[in-house]
């Protein structure tokens, strides 16, 4: 949906005086069962296909190296809505993942169209794909019908993000959405991404119900070829504004 390195450029938080007062009771709390698996592969070659020999002069065949890594996150993610100003929603995210000793909490600001600013440099991929669907004007029109689509785009000197949501069908009160996204970075240090997703969304309560996301990134230079894939799944467990519901309804 929106890569972490793009998110910091998106929505400025509303002006508010700092306070040391206790945190207010959330306006809404939504809890999700979540998982994310990220796999990375780094392959290092040599431009031209030859390297200088370590001894005896001349040239030899390069010895390419590779590095693979996988990280699995499983557990729950809680979205607490703690404020709304000018249709920008402030939320607090609490992630409780297996194999992590303590919960991780941070704030985020969600613009009406779903663009997000995080108050952390390292939001989970689950939060990156889940939170935009909380935007107050994300798919909020009562006239939406099968086949309709809309765009959430961002273009800066650093990133060109093109995101399209299409209504693929309905399941009772839920919209079934297909998501396609491309993220292109101007910096050689970052990856470009292609994203595909299938989502369930409840427009009457402006809430994502479930989703499966497939993100594929790549970066190619003269000497390296990097690839990364991330798969994200989430499904709603509870919602204080919708207290009686199955997890995917």
Domain ranges of the chain: 4-10+26-48+61-239
Q: pLDDT by residue (tens digit) across 179-221?
A: 999 998 887 667 889 999 999 999 989 999 999 999 999 887 7
Q: Which helix (H) or strand (E) holds 129?
A: helix 125-130
In this structure, are residues 74 and 98 in contact, taking their beta carbons and an 8 Å threshold?
Answer: yes
CATH code reported for the domain at 4-10+26-48+61-239: 2.30.230
Name the CA radius of gyration of the chain, rounded: 21
Enter the pTM of the model.
0.78
- 189 alpha carbon, distance to own chain's centre: 19
Residues 52, 140: Cα–Cα separation, whole Å: 62
pLDDT at position 20, please? Answer: 47
Q: How far is CA 44 from the centre of its chain?
A: 28
Contact 31, 76 (CB under 8 A): yes
Share of the chain above pLDDT 70, in %: 76
pLDDT score of 187: 74
Pair 14, 109: CB distance under 8 Å: yes
- Reference 105, options 117, 91, 87, 116; nearest CA is 91
Segments of the chain with pLDDT less than 50: 1-14, 16-17, 19-20, 46-55, 57-60
* pLDDT score of 39: 94
Q: How far is CA 83 from the centre of its chain?
A: 21
How confident is the model at residue 233, as a pLDDT?
A: 98
The rounded distance, in Å, linking the Cα atoms of 67 and 189 is 17
């Amino acid at each position: 949906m929106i890569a972490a390195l793009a998110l910091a450029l998106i929505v400025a938080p509303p002006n508010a005086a700092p306070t040391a007062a206790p945190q207010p009771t959330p306006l809404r709390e939504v809890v999700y069962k979540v998982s994310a698996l990220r796999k990375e592969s780094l392959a290092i070659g040599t431009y031209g296909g030859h390297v200088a020999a370590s001894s005896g002069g001349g040239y030899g065949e390069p010895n390419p190296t590779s590095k693979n890594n996988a990280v699995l996150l499983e557990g729950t993610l809680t979205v607490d809505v703690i404020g709304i100003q000018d249709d920008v929603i402030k939320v607090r995210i609490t992630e409780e993942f297996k194999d992590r000793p303590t919960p991780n909490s941070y704030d985020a600001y969600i613009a009406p169209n779903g663009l997000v600013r995080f108050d952390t440099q390292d939001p989970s991929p689950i939060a990156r794909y889940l939170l935009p669907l909380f935007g107050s004007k994300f798919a909020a029109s009562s006239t939406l019908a099968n086949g309709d689509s809309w765009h959430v785009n961002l273009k800066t000197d650093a990133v060109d993000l093109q995101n399209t949501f299409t209504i693929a069908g309905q399941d009772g009160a839920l919209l079934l959405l297909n998501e396609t996204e491309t993220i292109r970075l101007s910096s050689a240090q970052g990856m470009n991404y292609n994203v595909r997703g299938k989502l369930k969304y409840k427009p009457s309560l402006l809430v994502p119900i479930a989703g499966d996301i497939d993100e594929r990134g790549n970066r190619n230079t003269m000497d390296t070829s990097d690839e990364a894939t991330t798969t994200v799944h989430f499904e709603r467990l509870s919602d204080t504004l919708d207290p009686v519901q199955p997890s995917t309804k």
